[in-house]
Structure 1
Amino acid sequence: MEPVQAEDEGLSPEALEAPDGETLGKMIRDARKDKGLTLEEAARSAAIGRSTLSKIENNQTRPSFDIIRRLMQALDLETPQLFVQSGKSDISGRRDFTRKDQGEHQVTGTYDHELLCTELTSKRMLPYISTIKARDVSEFDTWVRHRGEEFMFVLSGELTLYTEHYRPLPMKAGDSVYYDSGMGHGCVSTSDEDARVLWVSLEG
């Protein structure tokens, strides 16, 4: 397939080089169909062109971080896993940096995610700090699940980690857990203050 040139809709040459577009496109297409939206409707909601959305879904171009964020909001995706764009890079010695409290926020009904080191569009892991807003597992419409694995370290407060195949796991500051993120999961805060955790998502 010939390389597709970026259009005037926020697509950057760096983003076009990001690998694993097939996975990203499928996640977006599945989310759009789950909401019963046409290409036209989803593109309009995300303020991008219909042709751009079609190319993203069919792995013919790679979107910038800003476009991914708009699609995530438009499609009500409740996990920052969409931002993981794994694959090999020809560039060695890359570096990204986020100052304290200056990450990209993605707020859902149950979490407030602060995405860290978001300038690199091609990476195998996604680090983020989350404030656990949920207070009861019933606040989750369904299990959170996505491909890959996750590491979670509790920074402050106390929480309970609910997973599909295990008993609820009470955790407090300093505790950590590693699990298959394809297994349904969700966290609720159990302390007076909302718990805060460091999450690292690894693409499977």
Structure 2
Amino acid sequence: MGKSTLDDNPALVLTQESQENNIDPLRLGQRIKDIRLELGLTLEEASQKTGLARSTLSKIENEQISPTFQAMQKLAHGLDIGMPQLFEPPKKMVATGRRDITLAQQGKPHPTSTYEHELLATQLSGKKMTPFKTRVRAREFEEYGDWVRHDGEEFLLVLEGSVMLYTEFYEPITLHVGDSVYYDANMGHVLTSVSDSDALILWVTAK
């Protein structure tokens, strides 16, 4: 046993998203462009503020030419920043003010033979967590045919019913409403419902 499928792992579908680009601190043109964008300025607006021709500013940002010291002075003065800021390594920005509301029963459905997933917060890209609610339909371990494995860590909370959690290196355990577990998703794992009706769980997968 060692493979998993996309069908049983919606986290694999949603976490294959754009990754953060780390900017080389020595790329001065990129640094200037980042500052301009952080200030919400177009090339034309930055040109008017700094007195540098739009074409010159574009060439600087695209690393086609190196800015002179005089141009750097104009940039710092026009953008109202200190000269050292142009040379500082870019600080890792933390996303603030983002949100994605998923109303009840309005998640993105993703049914499989063993699970009926409802993907949550699907409008946000670059998430560090992938939340989804899942109706567990499987009743026997054999219905999977193989362990489910994928990158990241996972949190599971039982919302309705009871489930049996099978993990590759631990004995199976029964979880009831309110019970939760956090585990390494690279470890083989599957769930079966052991209650009269299909159990409902909340799953959160973290990169």
TM-score grouping bracket, smaller chain normalisation: 0.5 to 0.7
| Counterpart residue number, 1:150 | 154
Could you list the runs of 5+ residues in structure 1 that have no partner in the other structure? 1-30, 35-74
Deviations 1:139-167 (A, max 9, x none): 00211100000000000101100000000
1:179 and 1:136 map into 2 onto residues whose CA distance is 21
* TM-score normalized by the length of structure 2: 0.59
* TM-score normalized by the length of structure 1: 0.60
CA positional deviation for 1:121: 1.6
Are 2:106 and 1:102 aligned? yes
Letter in 1 for 2:157: F
1:146 and 1:86 map into 2 onto residues whose CA distance is 18
1:80 and 1:158 map into 2 onto residues whose CA distance is 21
Are 2:78 and 1:78 aligned? no
Tell me: higher relative CO, structure 1 or 2? Use CA pairs within 8 A at least 6 residues apart: 2
CA positional deviation for 1:81: 1.5
2:181 and 2:95 map into 1 onto residues whose CA distance is 32
1:79 and 1:96 map into 2 onto residues whose CA distance is 21
2:135 and 2:18 map into 1 onto residues whose CA distance is 25
Check the 8 A contact 1:113/1:131 in 2, yes or no.
yes
Name the Cα RMSD after superposition.
Answer: 2.1
Letter in 2 for 1:179: Y
CA positional deviation for 1:87: 4.5
SS of residue in 1 equivalent to 2:165: strand
CA positional deviation for 1:90: 6.6
| Structure with larger Rg | 2
1:171 and 1:86 map into 2 onto residues whose CA distance is 35
Check the 8 A contact 1:86/1:125 in 2, yes or no.
no
CA positional deviation for 1:122: 1.2
Could you list the runs of 5+ residues in structure 2 that have no partner in the other structure? 21-92
Check the 8 A contact 1:86/1:124 in 2, yes or no.
no
Letter in 2 for 1:77: D
Q: Map 1:28-107 to 2 at 5 A.
A: 77-82=7-12, 83-84=14-15, 85=17, 87-88=19-20, 91-107=95-111
Deviations 1:47-97 (A, max 9, x none): xxxxxxxxxxxxxxxxxxxxxxxxxxxx86321122023745675311111
Check the 8 A contact 1:86/1:123 in 2, yes or no.
no
1:192 and 1:116 map into 2 onto residues whose CA distance is 26
Are 2:125 and 1:133 aligned? no
Structure 1 moving runs of 4+ over 6 Å: none
| Counterpart residue number, 1:194 | 198
